[in-house]
Amino acid sequence: MDRSKLEEMIELAQKGILENSRVGTIRNPDGEQKGRFVLFHAAMSFCSQKVRATLAQRGAAFESNEMVILARRLPAGALIPAENYSPDYVRLRLQGREAMKVRLVEAYSGISSVSNSGLDPCAVPTLVDLDAAEVVVDSLRICIHIDAVLPGSNRLVPANPVQLQNVQRQLNAVDLTPHPGLLYGFHPEDDRRPQAIKQAMSSVYEEKLEALTSLIKANEGDGELVAAYQAKIAKETGGRDVRCDPGFQNTLRAATRNILLELDKDLRQNQYAWLCAPQLTLADLFWAVSLVRLKYLGLAKLWSDLPTIDAYLERLLELPSVQSEVLASTISSMPRSDYLAA
Ligand SMILES: N[C@@H](CCC(=O)N[C@@H](CS)C(=O)NCC(=O)O)C(=O)O
């Protein structure tokens, strides 16, 4: 797609963001490649945090379009849908899907990995690389893309094949950690999420489904868009059905614990200064996002007997990119958690 067509699509997608102050802000303004990257994201979204931490770590400028990713019910009863459901944003995202050649999501797994579950057409983040005239979707692909196209020697994806293989293994481990399931789900006997999160999650699926159903009605003539909304309905219906399912919630915790056990093993056997190489890699940034989110949810207990992970997290939290785009961003955009102090 040519650049002017893309710019037109970006402008339309921006119209779905209700406050001008969240549209078109330049972040890292003195950074590399100003004018190249346009990011649609949300402060609280852990997938967006991965992308922003990568941009910060690589010192790249970007145009920020910050979306509200939860619906809002007005006192009179009307529902304002999440901004990431707006038709023009979804159309932009579908351009990225075409380039990626991946199926749309069909069901709920509690995991947001595209390789595992297909592409969610109504999610953040979405990156537009104006120089490459490309829409890139899926945080994993976005971060790899950003790192590959930026000049400089401070690459986050190593060229050394053994280190690269290690990085890919770690990125997959984070990608397969069931973060959405842990954030949205009600654990039967040990739910440590802040009260405000519990309250939001008690009606979140119903609101998503209500918004999507009316968006389908309003866009009946656009088959591709309707198919995208139907895919999202299939996913969110599945999420609603297991939100309070004790077996499902216990399985998510067990899967997360197993992933952390592997991380602990890798850290203990590690011979490098960082997890996969002598230098910082994308794997370290992804783990920072994952561990901060788990801690926020009160789930640091899953590694309370694995001190290597705490020590690793301490080091990650010293990185300015992690401090601003992961820690500060979580604290400022999400309800206060007793488990993640300012
Ligand atoms: N694999 C995708 C997952 C995207 C995703 O699930 N994004 C979440 C935030 S982290 C989202 O937009 N949630 C809002 C919703 O689904 O309504 C990625 O990494 O970009």
Mean pLDDT of 214-233: 98
Kindly give, in sequence order, each residue whose CB lies less than 8 Å from that of residue 66, ignoring residues fewer than 6 positions away.
17, 22, 23, 25, 41, 42, 43
Q: How far is the CA of 87 from the centre of ligand 1 (A)?
A: 16
47 lines ligand 1 (CB under 6 A): yes
Q: What is the pLDDT of residue 98?
A: 86
* Euclidean distance between CA atoms 59 and 76, whole angstroms: 45
* Euclidean distance between CA atoms 317 and 326, whole angstroms: 9
Q: How far is the CA of 307 from the centre of ligand 1 (A)?
A: 30
125 lines ligand 1 (CB under 6 A): yes
Q: How far is the CA of 278 from the centre of ligand 1 (A)?
A: 31
Which residue among 40, 47, 285 has the greatest number of ligand 1 atoms within 8 angstroms of its CB, and so is best to mutate?
47
* Euclidean distance between CA atoms 286 and 246, whole angstroms: 28
- Tell me the per-residue pLDDT of 104-157, one tens digit each, with 9 for 90 and over: 999 999 999 999 899 999 999 999 999 999 999 999 999 999 999 999 999 999
Q: What is the CATH number of the domain that holds 21?
A: 3.40.30.10
Kindly give, in sequence order, each residue whose CB lies less than 8 Å from that of residue 89, ignoring residues fewer than 6 positions away.
13, 16, 40, 67, 83, 122, 126
139 lines ligand 1 (CB under 6 A): yes
171 falls within a domain:
no
Q: What is the pLDDT of residue 108?
A: 97
Q: Is the pLDDT of residue 342 over 80?
A: no
Kindly give, in sequence order, each residue whose CB lies less than 8 Å from that of residue 31, ignoring residues fewer than 6 positions away.
55, 59, 60, 61, 62
Which residue bears the tokens 């785009």?
325
Q: Is the pLDDT of residue 301 over 80?
A: yes
The candidate with the shortest Cα–Cα distance to 70, out of 208, 215, 198, is 208
15 falls within a domain:
yes
Q: How far is the CA of 123 from the centre of ligand 1 (A)?
A: 4
Can you read off the two tokens belonging to residue 323? 């401090």
Question: Cis link prior to 125 (omega < 30° from 0)?
Answer: yes
39 falls within a domain:
yes
Long-range contacts (CB closer than 8 Å, 24 or more residues apart) made by 133-136: 133/1, 133/2, 133/3, 133/6, 134/96, 134/99, 135/1, 135/6, 135/92, 135/93, 135/95, 135/96, 135/99, 136/96, 136/99
Mean pLDDT (the chain, rounded): 97
Which residue bears the tokens 């997959």?
172
- Tell me the per-residue pLDDT of 188-201, one tens digit each, with 9 for 90 and over: 999 999 999 999 99
Amino acid at 217: K
Residue-range definition of the domain harbouring residue 64: 3-158
Q: Burial, 303: exposed, middle or buried (Cβ in 10 Å; 0-12, 13-18, 19+)?
A: buried
68 lines ligand 1 (CB under 6 A): no
CB 55 within 8 A of CB 99: no
Q: What Å distances lie between residue 301 and 229, 305, 339, CA to CA?
A: 37, 8, 10
Q: In degrees to the nearest 10, what's the CA dihedral of 315, 317, 319, 325?
A: 150
If one counts the domains in the chain, the total is: 1
55 falls within a domain:
yes
170 falls within a domain:
no
Which residue bears the tokens 């102090």?
341
83 falls within a domain:
yes
198 falls within a domain:
no
304 falls within a domain:
no
